[in-house]
Chains A and B, each alone.
Chain A
Amino acid sequence: MVLLVALLAVISLGVGPVRMSPLKVLEALFGGGDDVHQVIVRQIRLPRAILAVAIGGILGLSGAALQGLLRNPLASPSLFGAPQAAAFGAVLVIALGLADVRSYALPAAAIAMAFLSVFALLAVAGRNAGLLILILAGLAISSLAGAATALAMNLSSNPFVALEIAFWLLGSLEDRSFRHVMLALPFIAIGAAVLMSQRSALRALSLGEETAQSLGVNVGSLRLIVILGVAFGVGGAVAVTGSIGFIGLIAPHLMRPLVGYDPARLLVPSALAGAALLTAADIAVRVIPSTSDIKVGVLTSLIGVPFFLYLIMRERRALGGGVG
């Protein structure tokens, strides 16, 4: 998986209006080749590739952690409205003209809203909520966040602001600089570290909350810490790219046949799968010929929603079959 991610990242550096072979890319990356290529690779495409890997990674990790926390294979940040809420946080900051698009206020607001949304979800759905309740509550929260974002767009008199907001709704990695990388990466790193620190507790949680507690896991604080980790990661990611959905849902499912169902062992492979998915999607939006740019968030949703429908079908069959 590490190799695959590295390979995709190199390809990603080579794709764009000026195409380069992987070899040329490596050459430019390490200071060789001609100056134009060097600038393109290191200034324009490298931040984009780094963000794709980091954000795909944190989305995959968050998805795996949430699925472990809720012991539910349909859990993911986007189904629970976290990215939508984070986007609203970012939009609010812009619409109110509180801060520059590149300031740390943006990720801070995004993180706060992401935390609030997941916290609200768990509060509304209750501790041992079934699938249906979680999904319904998630739907309600993402609708609310969407409506709030639309309201902010509606009320903004400045067309430029409306355009900015539209960008957050779609999700894109275009024209990102190292400034953006610096903006997002610390939060993503904190989120990842927080989630990884809980991995063995998530494994113990496979036996249910009561048993996990009897094994010495503080289930209440585990829940809070995972929500915080997801909020940091997703909030940091959304603050620079807008909402990119369904990576967190798909990545763990791709890895389960390979590494098994253990929620602890699933975290790192899911992060890698998420990184690979988003990098590949970001390559795809540059390769697919179209008159205007396709946003990568649109593409992941286009792929993710059918996958989600497939998962629902599979769950339905499992439930109907009376297994367990």
Chain B
Amino acid sequence: MMEAFLTAQHLSVTLAGREVLHDIALALPRRHLVALVGPNGAGKTTLLRALAGLLPSRGAIHVGGDALSALSLRERAKRFGYLPQGHIVHWPLPARDIVALGRYPHGATDPGRLSARDAEAVERAMRATDVTQFSARPATELSGGERSRVALARVLAVEAPVILADEPTAALDPRFQIEVMKNLRAAADSGILAIVVTHDLGLAARYADMVMVMREGRLVAQGPPAEALSDEILADVFRVTAYRAGFEHRMIVVPWAGL
């Protein structure tokens, strides 16, 4: 295994007096697409937010050799591209301005006046997610699929070494689910560590190098898809059986029946 870029030791999170993450340990290298799966309420979003430093946690998180707690907000923002669920946009801003906010951590505070380097990053991200044609359209007028691709472009534009994406394929049609996963796969192949929360075990098995399985605030399995999504774990954690097959050298997992 390559050298770990993002690590967590004894990571615990308490929300409203209740411990929701218990003693998480992980060590993830760059150039990897990691799928984070688990039943509803397992703590996947909480783990993502804790890793990005968006909520207080106990234990130690290191990113690129630095303790997260020692990094300023801005330094954290440069290292983590964070894509939350829902893709909230409160005002009808043009799509390009939203993508340009990805350069905010780099000091590009005005989308109207980007440096050549910032403009290039924005351009590249918009091309990668195929949203260039929406540049001037208000984001609030875009369809759900279009808006989620704009949100992904915003995260890509950060050009952070780590991307944390919370259910980026939710509410997308099959074609865009595949597009989004391909974008994240390409990002990983270019050297990024992408952690993707998903409920789609099929997409996880197909695109991820590694799958982390969570249950009730604990990491109960992590490893290559074939190991982490074994029959035992699917039965134990998800209470389902699965149909398995192979296609184009990829693993296919289809949840089949409830137990």
Residues of A whose CB lies within 8 Å of any CB of B are: 71, 200, 203-208, 210-211, 213-218, 260-265, 323-324
* B64-120 at interface with A (beta carbon < 8 Å): 72-74, 76-78, 80-82, 84, 86, 88-94, 97-98, 101-102, 104-105, 109-112
A213–B109 CA distance with the chains assembled, in angstroms: 14
Assess the A211–B109 pair: CB atoms within 8 A.
no
4 A-B pairs besides A203-B111, A206-B101 with CB distance below 8 A are A206-B91, A216-B73, A265-B112, A324-B140
Q: A71 with B91: in contact, given A200-B104, A204-B101 (CB under 8 Å)?
A: yes
Residues of B whose CB lies within 8 Å of any CB of A are: 49, 52, 54, 72-74, 76-78, 80-82, 84, 86, 88-94, 97-98, 101-102, 104-105, 109-112, 138, 140, 154, 158
A278–B79 CA distance with the chains assembled, in angstroms: 47
Which A residues lie within 8 Å of B78 (CB)?
216
Assess the B91–A210 pair: CB atoms within 8 A.
no
A contact patch SS: helix
Which B residues lie within 8 Å of A218 (CB)?
73
**Candidates A214, A215, A261; contact of B92 at CB < 8 Å:** A261
Which B residues lie within 8 Å of A324 (CB)?
140
Q: Please provide the 10 A-B residue pairs with the shortest distance between their CB atoms, ordered closest to farther.
A: A216-B77, A200-B109, A214-B82, A71-B90, A208-B88, A261-B91, A216-B74, A215-B104, A216-B105, A216-B73
Assess the A262–B91 pair: CB atoms within 8 A.
yes
A64–B160 CA distance with the chains assembled, in angstroms: 32
**Candidates B76, B81, B91; contact of A263 at CB < 8 Å:** B91
A73–B80 CA distance with the chains assembled, in angstroms: 31
A217–B94 CA distance with the chains assembled, in angstroms: 21
Assess the B52–A214 pair: CB atoms within 8 A.
yes
**Candidates A207, A217, A264; contact of B98 at CB < 8 Å:** A207
Which A residues lie within 8 Å of B86 (CB)?
208
Query: Which residue in chain B gives the minimum CB-CB distance to A218?
Result: B73
Q: A217 with B109: in contact, given A200-B104, A207-B89 (CB under 8 Å)?
A: no
Interface centre among A203, A211, A213, A324 (most CB of B within 10 A): A211
Which B residues lie within 8 Å of A208 (CB)?
84, 86, 88, 90
Assess the A262–B93 pair: CB atoms within 8 A.
yes
Query: Which residue in chain B gives the minimum CB-CB distance to A216?
Result: B77
Question: Shortest Cβ distance from B106 into chain A, in angstroms?
Answer: 9
Assess the A211–B97 pair: CB atoms within 8 A.
no
Which B residues lie within 8 Å of A215 (CB)?
77, 101-102, 104-105, 158
Q: A211 with B93: in contact, given A200-B110, A216-B77, A216-B104 (CB under 8 Å)?
A: no
A260–B140 CA distance with the chains assembled, in angstroms: 13
Which A residues lie within 8 Å of B54 (CB)?
210, 213-214
Which A residues lie within 8 Å of B88 (CB)?
207-208, 211
Which A residues lie within 8 Å of B52 (CB)?
214
Query: Which residue in chain B gives the minimum CB-CB distance to A199?
Result: B109
A264–B94 CA distance with the chains assembled, in angstroms: 14
A262–B112 CA distance with the chains assembled, in angstroms: 11
Assess the B104–A262 pair: CB atoms within 8 A.
no
Query: Which residue in chain A gives the minimum CB-CB distance to B72?
Result: A216
A33–B229 CA distance with the chains assembled, in angstroms: 90
Which B residues lie within 8 Å of A217 (CB)?
73, 104
Assess the A210–B84 pair: CB atoms within 8 A.
yes
Which B residues lie within 8 Å of A262 (CB)?
91, 93, 97, 111
